[in-house]
Structure 1
């Protein structure tokens, strides 16, 4: 009798095919790494870099958008995270000068198909160009990634200006223009330091047409702090703002969103807290 049952099960499995496996979840992170400032004392990059690498690896991050990495910081973080591929250039000269908005992706899971950087300015292809009323050169780095299973993803990372209101507004317009052209209809993840709180016109602009959603707003579960910037603990907790974001297209569900602690292994990882989201391709 048992033999008959096993044979019947085998026939059914052969006829219907194996049960479809659910697409794996994708963990993304956005983190302002804090540029290497000698005045940071015990919070200087040289004391934080190993901490950051251990935190990223321990969190199981698949793709990460970063901000403020200077050239040597970017090189050192690549060495500390050998499992990750990366793309990014310096905002001052389009090579290694100045801060990077580098993207890191897990090589075991993703293949890099295309990538690039543009400047948030009236001349997006001009390396080192400063836009509108911005205080600094600002950039966005993007990558088209293909999972080993075949799905493609358009990932874009940026850092909006901290002074120029026009620069922030026009920067968002440019981001959407490039997402439309470079993304070519692929699922989109936009990460970055937007130097704007959730109730600001800038974030309202990002969400205005409904094509992108704040991962926190649609997450099935939210954990961690409500803020992402604490200036190495110098800002009182009740006044700490949320200025770092993960936005996703409607191709994704968000099972979980979490702002991780800004400390790890006994010290600060940055003046910002890492923002994470677990994503799942939505069934359509």
Structure 2
């Protein structure tokens, strides 16, 4: 397991990793279980604003990073994100984000566990320094050898999960936070990567509440997603609140808001460990398009407000 204060990188096969190749299955009519306690009398701590955000690597073309980086900052500022799982951006993009948003720190690594290579994908966790303290963090690989830099099963490239043990400075509540990015090509890699997450997270968290964020390259109708939510240990935050924004949209937009008009493209998710210690106050896909039809990324962020039990 390798650690480094910043992570960077973007894959030489970057174009191949675009989520437009994600596993999409035909949508079915969704039935959201009414498993929310509407007569909640528990005492809850002040909420955290949590996000999962795939920020596309710089491919140039019509949507170069130079046109997008200020827009990413505006999204972070507008929604006052406290902690966010961020997938994909290169070393240079991460450096630009930290320069534009000095109130944030980050932990993570590139998909090979290194910190100096320019052209690799990264999986990181951004956190607001005045709200969140990172007490520990690490990385594991979605492969047969999760403690070693490796490419698993039939994946097109190495895939990782970055985790952090965090403390809310306002409430002193400790929790774990995970950020991951499943492969866009390998079906076995998605199946076994999802199972590896389910097996590994409880070993790391040791009973603490945890949030799992990421680009899963799988919508809510796929077997990979269903294997996650069928576990007794994890729930999709989408199902845990009636207060939803853009509930019938997808997260992948491909720089065209009409692309996200179907939940077929809801491939970014925020899961939470199945515990009564966590309450989801709000869930949303935030579809900001800026003047001139400009987009910060080819994904929209998923943002939730989370409260922990006092």
Unaligned runs of at least 5 residues, structure 2:
1-41
Contact 2:252 2:259 in 1 (8 A): no
Question: Which of 263, 271, 281 does residue 289 from structure 2 map onto?
Answer: 263
| C-alpha distance 96-88 of structure 1, shift in aligned 2 (>3 A) | farther
Kindly indicate whether residue 110 of structure 2 is the aligned counterpart of residue 87 of structure 1: no
Question: Which of 118, 130, 135 does residue 151 from structure 2 map onto?
Answer: 130
Question: Which of 227, 245, 260 does residue 250 from structure 2 map onto?
Answer: 227
Q: For residues 176 and 236 of structure 1, what CA distance do their matches in structure 2 show?
A: 30
Q: For residues 166 and 125 of structure 2, what CA distance do their matches in structure 1 show?
A: 11
3-state SS of paired residue (1:150) = coil
Q: More helix by proportion, 1 or 2?
A: 1
Kindly indicate whether residue 203 of structure 2 is the aligned counterpart of residue 176 of structure 1: no
3-state SS of paired residue (1:89) = strand
Shift of 1:117: 1.1
Contact 2:250 2:261 in 1 (8 A): no
Q: Which residue of 2 aligns with 1:74?
A: 94
Q: Compute the TM-score of the two structures, normalised by the length of structure 1.
A: 0.87
Contact 2:251 2:260 in 1 (8 A): no
Q: For residues 107 and 233 of structure 1, what CA distance do their matches in structure 2 show?
A: 33
Greater CA radius of gyration, 1 or 2?
1
Q: Compute the TM-score of the two structures, normalised by the length of structure 2.
A: 0.80
Contact 2:252 2:260 in 1 (8 A): no
Q: For residues 22 and 208 of structure 1, what CA distance do their matches in structure 2 show?
A: 27
Q: For residues 193 and 238 of structure 1, what CA distance do their matches in structure 2 show?
A: 18
Shift of 1:257: 0.5
Kindly indicate whether residue 279 of structure 2 is the aligned counterpart of residue 253 of structure 1: yes
Kindly indicate whether residue 72 of structure 2 is the aligned counterpart of residue 52 of structure 1: yes
Kindly indicate whether residue 303 of structure 2 is the aligned counterpart of residue 276 of structure 1: yes
Contact 2:52 2:84 in 1 (8 A): yes
Q: Name the Cα RMSD after superposition.
A: 1.9
Q: Trace 1:18-33 onto structure 2 (pairs within 5 A).
A: 23-33=45-55
Deviations 1:169-195 (A, max 9, x none): 111122122211111111110000000
Shift of 1:198: 0.2
Shift of 1:125: 2.1
Greater relative contact order (Cα 8 A, min sep 6): structure 1 or 2?
A: 2
3-state SS of paired residue (2:70) = helix
| C-alpha distance 274-264 of structure 1, shift in aligned 2 (>3 A) | farther
Question: Which of 230, 242, 247 does residue 266 from structure 2 map onto?
Answer: 242
Q: Which residue of 1 aligns with 2:134?
A: 112
| C-alpha distance 26-131 of structure 1, shift in aligned 2 (>3 A) | same
In the comparison of the two structures, how many residue pairs are matched? 261
Q: Which residue of 1 aligns with 2:162?
A: 141
Unaligned runs of at least 5 residues, structure 1:
1-19
Q: Which residue of 2 aligns with 1:188?
A: 210
